[in-house]
Amino acid sequence: MDFKNNRTFMKSGFDLPEREFISDQERGLPPPSVEKAMDSNLRIIELPVVDKNIMKHSDLYDCLNNRRSRRNYKDLPITLEELSFLLWSTQGVQKMIPAYKNTGHITLRPVPSAGGRHAYETYLAVNNVAGLEKGIYIYLPLAHKLAFYHSVDNLPDKLIYAYGGENYQEEAMWLGRAPVVFLWSCIPYRGEWRYHGEAHRLMLLDIGHICQNLYLASEGIGCGTCAIAGYVQKAFDELLGIDGENEYVVYVSAVGKVE
Ligand SMILES: Cc1cc2nc3c(=O)[nH]c(=O)nc-3n(C[C@H](O)[C@H](O)[C@H](O)COP(=O)(O)O)c2cc1C
């Protein structure tokens, strides 16, 4: 098999004349919104104010040194305070820079993003979070709130299938026991609007930062996480009710309390 195209995709092409582009931003087209438009009928859940006293291990060295991918979780709920902290650490908005000329609004968050595009939405598959009904939620970063999206019959089974497919159900069982699963979907036009065909590489780099913050923030509060990148694409997209074209899941990470 020839991997040439895939290798080229990993490389920067900003200086290459053959990859020169005029982006929609340069054409003067309006910027995409920084947050997905929400059905106003969705139930909104307030999140506790993020408080740094939640940290059990606030030493960065310890968090880096202890970080591991953790798949064994205690049979205990995640609290809303913990969830609020993890959402803020990964996608919370610290500052909004107002639109200037045709930049669109830019949000600053605990994670960096190429050109401040922040092309990801955060969904949660909630199995065991104190005070939350089981089901699928979406994070509203501008307001730091959750919206309840929909309930799912046999959510653990659906997660196990979406991760393991037909052939690896046994290996995927641990995901069904996770109290909460973060699912990041990409809205590609947010990046394409500014960076055209260079956007996709940048957006993949961005998601690594997001998940790394989840790893470190989880370590800091006595939780653990494990990233998942190999899964049944269609099953996760369908679980969230997204179209798989203009929005699709790119990365998943389970969270629970650990020893
Ligand atoms: C991009 C990426 C994708 C991963 N995908 C999976 C996965 O699909 N399933 C899984 O169990 N672990 C997955 N992991 C976790 C790795 O297997 C884990 O990081 C590796 O074994 C090293 O362990 P450590 O994270 O504890 O250092 C992934 C990690 C990364 C960074």
pLDDT score at 99: 83
Query: Where does the pLDDT of residue 117 fall: very low under 50, low under 70, confident under 90, or very high at 90 and above?
Result: very high
Maximal CA-CA distance, the chain: 56
For a pocket test of ligand 1, which of 204, 218, 226 has the largest count of ligand atoms closer than 8 A to its C-beta? 226
Q: What tens digit of pLDDT does each residue of 80-104 get?
A: 999 999 999 999 999 999 888 788 8
Residue 39 inside a domain? The answer is no
CATH code of the domain covering residue 202: 3.40.109.10
pLDDT score at 54: 97
How far is the centre of ligand 1, averaged over its atoms, from the C-alpha of 30 (Å)? Answer: 38
Residue 82 inside a domain? The answer is yes
Write out the residue range of the structural domain in which residue 54 sits.
45-257
Residue 22 inside a domain? The answer is no
Domain tally, the chain: 1
- pTM equals 0.97
In 3D space, the residue among 188, 186, 190 whose CA is nearest the CA of residue 117 turns out to be: 190
Residue 23 inside a domain? The answer is no
Look up tokens 């020169």; give the residue: 20
Rounded to an integer, the average pLDDT of 95-117 is 92
Q: What tens digit of pLDDT does each residue of 31-84 get?
A: 999 999 989 999 999 999 999 999 999 999 999 999 999 999 999 999 999 999
In 3D space, the residue among 227, 34, 240 whose CA is nearest the CA of residue 118 turns out to be: 34
Residue 105 inside a domain? The answer is yes
Q: How far apart are CA 87 and CA 217, in angstroms?
A: 10
- Ligand 1 site residues (CB inside 6 A) read 68-69, 226-230
Does residue 19 have a pLDDT over 90?
Answer: no
Residue 60 inside a domain? The answer is yes
Q: Mean pLDDT score of the chain, rounded to an integer?
A: 96
Atom of ligand 1 nearest to the CA of 231: 8
- Three-state secondary structure of the chain: CCCHHHHHHCCCCCCCHHHCCCCCCCCCCCCCCCCCCCCCCCEEEECCCCCHHHCCCCCHHHHHHHCCECCCCCCCCECHHHHHHHHHHHHCCCEEECCCCCCCCEEECCCCCHHHCCCEEEEEEECCECCCCCEEEEEECCCCEEEEEECCCCHHHHHHHHHHCCCCHHHHHHHHCCCEEEEEEECCHHHHHHHHHHHHHHHHHHHHHHHHHHHHHHHHCCEEEEEECCCCHHHHHHHHCCCCCCCEEEEEEEEEECC
Residue 201 inside a domain? The answer is yes
Residue 116 inside a domain? The answer is yes
For a pocket test of ligand 1, which of 10, 63, 68, 69 has the largest count of ligand atoms closer than 8 A to its C-beta? 69
Q: What tens digit of pLDDT does each residue of 157-204 get?
A: 999 999 999 999 999 999 999 999 999 999 999 999 999 999 999 999
Residue whose CA is closest, atom 28 of ligand 1?
227
